[in-house]
Amino acid sequence: SQKIEQNSEALNIQEGKTATLTCNYTNYSPAYLQWYRQDPGRGPVFLLLIRENEKEKRKERLKVTFDTTLKQSLFHITASQPADSATYLCALSGYSTLTFGKGTMLLVSP
Amino acid sequence: NAGVTQTPKFQVLKTGQSMTLQCAQDMNHNSMYWYRQDPGMGLRLIYYSASEGTTDKGEVPNGYNVSRLNKREFSLRLESAAPSQTSVYFCASRILAVGALSSYEQYFGPGTRLTVT
């Protein structure tokens, strides 16, 4: 069966450092991979989408890589800020639906 | 634009009671989704409607029914609530446009926190 793995342990980093979150998957060949941010008590918010034929995508301080051979995506936040503290969800795209990972909590301390 | 709205925000039910969760979007999106989110389980798809007039089961459909009332509205019904249905429920929507990259992005509502005692 399809499986998506994200670090279940929270990632604690200091302000100004680069945060790197990992998403690994098995038994799946997604055409697209997406990353969402979720704050406590709120719905997820879309951040970035990367296609299977793209190696890297950037948006402001965010960077996503997608390695279909390793079946892995890395999500980077550079120059992290306390406001970046949230849970980040990886999601694999089928044509009609998304399958989400369980998310990784990021805590950025001043 | 309000985006995706959900009602109610909170609900407490007794086992065996029924209720309907309402979802509406004002973005003219074709597809709508219902998810549940439980601690340690992540977001799981209950049902979805790829377009008006169609509905399909997701990963965890048992105990639920859905109605795509029109293009804007998609409701989720619990006929006989069970404690295992205690969860946070999210509705989402997206455009379905062949070839458009941005059509894969989903927009989520604020959620309904449901407790079944």
What gap in Å lies between CA A86 and CA A82, rounded to an integer?
9
Amino acid identity for residue B86 in this structure: T
- What pLDDT is recorded for position B79? 94
**In contact, A85 and A106? CB cutoff 8 Å:** yes
Task: Give the position of tokens 């790197």.
Answer: A20
**B residues 33-92 near A, CB within 8 Å?**
33, 35, 40-45, 48, 50, 56, 58-59, 90, 92
Give residue-wise pLDDT tens across range B6-18.
999 999 999 999 9
Contact check, Cβ <8 Å, A100/B42 = yes
Mean pLDDT of the A48-53 span? 91
What gap in Å lies between CA A19 and CA B79, rounded to an integer?
44
Instruction: Enter the DSSP assignment of B73.
Output: B
Residues of chain A found within 8 Å of residue B105, distances taken between Cβ atoms: 34, 46, 49
- What pLDDT is recorded for position B4? 98
Residues of chain B found within 8 Å of residue A103, distances taken between Cβ atoms: 42
More confident of the two residues B34 and A69: B34
- Candidates A27, A24, A34, A28; CA nearest to A4 is A24
Flag whether pLDDT at B102 surpasses 60: no
For chains A and B, what is the number of CB pairs under 8 angstroms? Answer: 52
Residue of A46, A51, A97 lying closest to B105 (CB–CB): A46
Minimal C-alpha gap between A100 and chain B (Å): 6
Nearest-by-CA chain A residue for B105: A46
- Candidates A110, A108, A107, A101; CA nearest to A44 is A101
Q: Where are the beta strands (DSSP E) in A27-109?
A: 32-38, 45-51, 56-59, 62-67, 72-77, 86-93, 98-100, 104-109
What gap in Å lies between CA B59 and CA A97, rounded to an integer?
10
More confident of the two residues A94 and B38: B38
Contact check, Cβ <8 Å, B42/A43 = no
Question: Lowest-pLDDT range, A26-35, B42-51, B60-69?
Answer: A26-35
pLDDT category at A65 given cuts 50, 70, 90 is: very high
- What pLDDT is recorded for position B101? 58
Instruction: Enter the DSSP assignment of A65.
Output: E
Tokens linked to B108:
């989520």
**In contact, A73 and A57? CB cutoff 8 Å:** no
Alpha helices, H only, chain A: none
Flag whether pLDDT at A17 surpasses 70: yes
Task: Give the position of tokens 């990992």.
Answer: A22
Contact check, Cβ <8 Å, B111/A89 = no
Give residue-wise pLDDT tens across range B49-95.
998 999 999 999 999 999 999 999 999 999 999 999 999 999 999 98
Flag whether pLDDT at A29 surpasses 60: yes
What gap in Å lies between CA B5 and CA B108, rounded to an integer?
9
